[in-house]
Amino acid sequence: MTNQVVISTNIAQALTKAVEEVKHDKLFLLMDETTHELCFPVVKDIPCLSEATPIIIGATDTHKTLDTLAKVWTEMGNGGGTRHSLMVNLGGGMVTDLGGFAASTFKRGIKYINVPTTLLSMVDASVGGKTGINFNGLKNEVGVFNAPKTVIIDTEFLKTLDHENILSGYAEMLKHGLISNDENYAELLNFDLGDVDYLHLGQMVGTSVAIKERIVEEDPLEHGIRKALNLGHTAGHAFESWALSRKPYLHGYAVAWGLICELYLSCIKTHFPTDKMRQTVRFIKENYGTLPITCDDYEELYGYMTHDKKNTAGIINFTLLGDVGDILINQSANKEEIFEMLDFFREG
DSSP string, 199-238: HHHHHHHHHHHHHHHHHHHH-TTSSSGGGGGGTTHHHHHH
| CA neighbor of 32 nearest in space, from 83, 102, 82, 81 | 102
Instruction: Say how far apart CA 184 and CA 243 lie, in whole Å.
Output: 31
Please give the Cα distance from 133 to 124 (Å, whole number). Answer: 16
The reported pLDDT for the residue numbered 182 is 96
Which pLDDT belongs to residue 237?
Answer: 93
Say what the pLDDT of residue 20 is: 96
What is the rounded CA–CA span in Å between residue 109 and residue 268? 45
Q: Give the pLDDT confidence of 210-228 residue by residue, as tens digits.
A: 999 889 888 888 788 989 9
To the question of domain 5-160 being in CATH 3.40.50.1970, the answer is yes
Can you give the length of the chain in residues? 348
Return the number of other C-beta atoms located less than 10 Å from residue 334's C-beta: 10
Residues lower than pLDDT 70 in the chain = 1-3
- What's the whole-model pTM score? 0.84
In whole angstroms, give the CA distance from residue 158 to residue 35: 12
Q: What are the sequence ranges of the domains in the chain?
A: 5-160, 163-347
**Distance from C-alpha of 42 to C-alpha of 158, rounded to nearest angstrom:** 12
CA distances from 119 to 111, 201, 247, 273, 313 (A): 23, 10, 22, 29, 35
Instruction: Indicate the CATH number for domain 163-347.
Output: 1.20.1090.10
182, 325 Cβ separation under 8 angstroms: yes
Q: DSSP code of 328?
A: E
In 128-271, where do the E strands start and end?
133-135, 138-142, 150-154
| 8 Å CB contact between 25 and 211 | no
- Please state, in angstroms and rounded to a whole number, the distance separating the CA atoms of residues 169 and 116: 11
Quote the CA–CA distance of 90 and 116 in Å, as a whole number: 6
